[in-house]
Structure 1
Amino acid sequence: MTQLSLSDIVSCISGYDPHAMTVERAQAVIREFIHPIEAVEKLPIRSALSRVLAQDIVSRIDVPAHDNSAMDGYALRGEDLAEGRELRLQIIGEVHAGDRFTGQVGPGQCVRIMTGAPMPAGCDTVIPQELTVDADQSAVTVPPGRVRAGDNRRLRGEDLALGSVALPRGRILRPSDIGLLASLGVAEIPVQRRLRVAFFSTGDELRSVGEPLDPGCVYDSNRYTLYGMLTRLGCDIIDMGVVRDDPVAMEAAFRSACEHADAVITSGGVSVGAADYTKQTMTKLGDMLFWKIGMRPGRPMAFGRIASQDRGAYLFGLPGNPVAVMVSFYFFVRDALLRMSGADASPLPRLQATSLSAIRKKPGRTEYQRGILAPDSDGVWKVKLTGAQGSGILRSMSDANCIIVLDDAQGDVAAGDPVQVVLFDGLI
């Protein structure tokens, strides 16, 4: 399949303006341009947690394999139940999980049964033992109105029927999925290869942790937050350190990154200013767009694809401010990387909460405020700002447990107004 160029994609967008891109339009362009990698490997299910399933898993058996009891009690014939009448049943046997009762249950008879045991022939109902009276070794009494025909019976194939899809392609496997695979007797499954992501920061003023901090310099925090976010996303990561504002060093870094990775993420050098080497190198090596997105924080962003030595990689050029890097990653890069990995990249779920703070907001751009979400004494979810919301205040992200999303058309928020929030916990 021939991949469309970025210019082909944006030509279909009415009123496209790289200097006034909305969040939604930028996300749509990225989604249209990104394609999943095709490499697949097989893994034992115990090694497949958090990996992306490469094909549908079809059940080769019925689960459960037979009608069985959902309770400890007595298996009986539903037709023996008569409304308003007490029923005395003869106990003709007992069956446990893993066993099978081979006899036939007739009128007025029942079988003592344990949870998970196969239903005896002729029985379609189970009455829990605590709802019976006068039980002894030979008979039990069922009071009227305690059970209806068909109660407490699990049907064959009720969980999964033979030939049905147990887990769909693109699913990121959770602990419950690993158990489900085991219940089907599946020992090995095909998964997508892990994405390889290279990242580096740009700027002569940056120093890595452990280096002396010269006057006018700052420690580079962006690589460490990117490392954490990429690790949680399950990527194989290549940390390329800090690249100085030098055209030779810059080109060498970009070439090495795209020759060894599926995606490249940079921080810094995409805004208006002196970092022309970054943009020049990006443009020289690939099909790139440079946007000013209507959002706060995180206005400048670069996106495209670069190539070197017949190897290509998607490129995400993020702003340099620490909070802007994280916000841009969560609302642009995360979904793109999931799509590249073959995963079902559903939008981040939003919850509604009541704002405890008044928030000034102009319509015409999307804003991402850092918030602390907690229930009040009545169990109503309330959210407050973490404090100052500057894009360089990384403490605001560390204190927060959610992001308050104020969409493009949103105006000022008064205390007590409802707002939409995205939780940090659960981002993968």
Structure 2
Amino acid sequence: MLTAQQAIDHLLSHAQTVTESEEVKTQAALGRILAENVNSLVDVPPLDNTAMDGYAVRIADVHVPGAILRIAQRIPAGSIGTQLEPSTAARIFTGAPVPSGADAIVMQEDCTLPEGQVEQVQINVTPAVGQWIRRKGEDLTAGKTALVAGTFLRPQELGVAASAGLTHLSVKRRVRVAAFFTGDELALPGEPLKPGGIYNSNRDTLLACLKSLGCDATDLGIVPDRLDATRQALRQASKGHDLIITSGGVSVGEEDHIKPAVTAEGRLDLWQIAIKPGKPLAFGAVRKSDKPEDGEAWFIGLPGNPVSSFVTFLLFVRPFILKLQGRDVIAPQSYPMRADFDWLKADRRNEFLRVKINSQGGLDLFPNQSSGVLTSASWGDGLVDCPPGEAIKAGDMVKYIPFSALLS
């Protein structure tokens, strides 16, 4: 069996970034992937401006604290002042352009108005050259790159685009993913449960994961545990989609039809990985038609147990989708953190344990790490990556991967 990293590397070696892009309004680009570098249309800020409410002064006029200057002008944001003459100051407000001749801003807390003198100000400090002045173009420079291709567009990136004067952005089209779920025991919430039946939690979990990554997700529902039905579902899913994901049917039992179905409808390149939870994981491709020129849809088959399905999606499907999207950062952030628990059952497989940060800054372990206990993922806020053959004792430093880094 491949290790987790070997499996990730194998998947990423096959993923090819979608080439199609579209132009959308900047306000509509949240969660999309920038398709090309964009340059700023303007300098930001457009002129030297003040970072504080206060007084614009000439350093030459304030060699020592206590200098008294005449207030010659008032400059609110959105106004342009006049040349600052010697021995004068300009009352100025945050964001307003610094008048020519001024080379420092003194914040109003460092100034006093002499009693009875409304047209004079006393400067009680000796300012440094450039103090509290934001220089023209220090944030963005007209004609220079504001955002680079492959950037995942968060609210702050949309703010940068807006400040650069951009009304529209070219973004990658969304990755199209079809999902279906196998198992005669499955029912949808609201339907009556037959004897031995369970509600399909993987449907809601995985579709939500796909949407959190910005995919166009097609729900093909529950497929009966039959080879012909599975093959038909694969043929349907391959049309118009970049990727097919399934949940269940990837083991080797008589009712597990994913492997023979994918082999019949395409090819299977990977089967089983050395992790826990989630050993059964399939990767391959499904033909879109009998014509080779029509290409293939990628296929990833996930285990049916809900925690296994969720964890393998985060570890393997997520990076594959990010590569298809053309993102510039794929690997999730991880942090060394202190384990406040014992995990003494070292396994030969790479284990991913559901944990939560406690009030002491360490990690607590959910008491039941079964692959069927989805509440362990709801309770937790991340995973501990426990290497093969290693036990964990309280106080050990471990590799912690927050769910927040795996769902964006």
Q: TM-score range by the shorter chain?
A: over 0.9
Distance between the aligned counterparts of 1:301 and 1:97, measured in 2? 60
**Match of 1:108, as an amino acid?**
S
Deviates more, 1:116-125 or 1:163-172: 163-172
Deviations 1:95-145 (A, max 9, x none): 11111112x223322211111111111112000111012343332221244
Query: Where in structure 2 are there 5+ consecutive unaligned residues?
Result: none
Q: Is the 8 A contact 1:208 1:241 kept in 2?
A: no
Q: CA 1:60–1:24 in structure 2 vs 1: closer, same or farther (change >3 Å)?
A: same
Distance between the aligned counterparts of 1:277 and 1:128, measured in 2? 73
Q: Which residue of 2 aligns with 1:393?
A: 373
Distance between the aligned counterparts of 1:260 and 1:207, measured in 2? 27
Q: Which residue of 1 aligns with 2:79?
A: 99
TM-score, length-scaled by structure 2: 0.93
Counterpart pick for 2:304 among 320, 324, 338 = 320
Distance between the aligned counterparts of 1:375 and 1:164, measured in 2? 45
Q: CA 1:139–1:255 in structure 2 vs 1: closer, same or farther (change >3 Å)?
A: same
Q: CA 1:144–1:388 in structure 2 vs 1: closer, same or farther (change >3 Å)?
A: closer
SS at match of 2:78: coil
Counterpart pick for 1:50 among 2, 12, 31 = 31
Matching of residue 424 in structure 1 with residue 403 in structure 2: yes
Q: Which residue of 2 aligns with 1:354?
A: 338
SS at match of 1:314: strand
Counterpart pick for 2:234 among 254, 265, 280 = 254
Distance between the aligned counterparts of 2:103 and 2:299, measured in 1? 61
Counterpart pick for 2:103 among 113, 116, 124 = 124
Q: CA deviation at 1:274?
A: 1.6
Distance between the aligned counterparts of 2:113 and 2:96, measured in 1? 23
Q: Is the 8 A contact 2:140 2:164 kept in 1?
A: no
Q: Which residue of 1 aligns with 2:350?
A: 366
Q: Is the 8 A contact 1:196 1:261 kept in 2?
A: yes
Distance between the aligned counterparts of 2:107 and 2:380, measured in 1? 49
TM-score, length-scaled by structure 1: 0.89
Q: Is the 8 A contact 2:250 2:257 kept in 1?
A: no
Q: Which residue of 1 aligns with 2:157?
A: 177
Counterpart pick for 2:21 among 40, 54, 61 = 40
Q: Is the 8 A contact 1:194 1:235 kept in 2?
A: yes
Matching of residue 264 in structure 1 with residue 244 in structure 2: yes
Q: How does 1:41-190 map to 2 (within 5 A)?
A: 41-82=22-63, 84-102=64-82, 104-135=83-114, 136-145=117-126, 147-190=127-170
Matching of residue 211 in structure 1 with residue 186 in structure 2: no
**Match of 2:35, as an amino acid?**
A
Q: Is the 8 A contact 2:226 2:255 kept in 1?
A: no
Q: Which residue of 2 aligns with 1:31?
A: 12
Deviates more, 1:351-360 or 1:298-307: 351-360
Counterpart pick for 1:193 among 159, 173, 185 = 173
Counterpart pick for 1:342 among 287, 305, 326 = 326
SS at match of 1:393: coil
Q: CA deviation at 1:180?
A: 1.9
SS at match of 1:336: helix
**Match of 1:267, as an amino acid?**
S
Distance between the aligned counterparts of 1:97 and 1:302, measured in 2? 60
**Match of 2:91, as an amino acid?**
R
Q: CA 1:116–1:144 in structure 2 vs 1: closer, same or farther (change >3 Å)?
A: closer
Query: Where in structure 1 are there 5+ consecutive unaligned residues?
Result: 1-19
Distance between the aligned counterparts of 1:362 and 1:78, measured in 2? 69
SS at match of 1:300: coil
Q: CA 1:201–1:144 in structure 2 vs 1: closer, same or farther (change >3 Å)?
A: closer
Q: CA 1:304–1:78 in structure 2 vs 1: closer, same or farther (change >3 Å)?
A: farther
Q: Is the 8 A contact 1:53 1:173 kept in 2?
A: yes
How many pairs are equivalent? 401
Counterpart pick for 1:285 among 239, 262, 265 = 265
Distance between the aligned counterparts of 1:414 and 1:232, measured in 2? 34
Distance between the aligned counterparts of 1:407 and 1:316, measured in 2? 24
Q: Which residue of 2 aligns with 1:7?
A: none
Counterpart pick for 1:415 among 376, 394, 406 = 394
Q: Is the 8 A contact 2:227 2:261 kept in 1?
A: yes
Q: CA deviation at 1:238?
A: 1.0
SS at match of 2:192: coil
- Between the aligned residues of both structures, percent identity stands at 38
Q: Is the 8 A contact 2:176 2:243 kept in 1?
A: yes
Distance between the aligned counterparts of 1:144 and 1:301, measured in 2? 68
Deviations 1:251-306 (A, max 9, x none): 11001101131110011122222245321121122232233211110011111221
Distance between the aligned counterparts of 2:345 and 2:10, measured in 1? 26
Q: Which residue of 1 aligns with 2:285?
A: 305
Distance between the aligned counterparts of 1:418 and 1:267, measured in 2? 34
Q: CA deviation at 1:330?
A: 0.4
Q: CA deviation at 1:311?
A: 4.7
Q: CA deviation at 1:425?
A: 3.3
**Match of 2:394, as an amino acid?**
A
**Match of 1:139, as an amino acid?**
Q
Distance between the aligned counterparts of 1:246 and 1:304, measured in 2? 20
Distance between the aligned counterparts of 1:138 and 1:168, measured in 2? 50
Distance between the aligned counterparts of 2:65 and 2:198, measured in 1? 84
SS at match of 2:358: strand
RMSD: 1.8
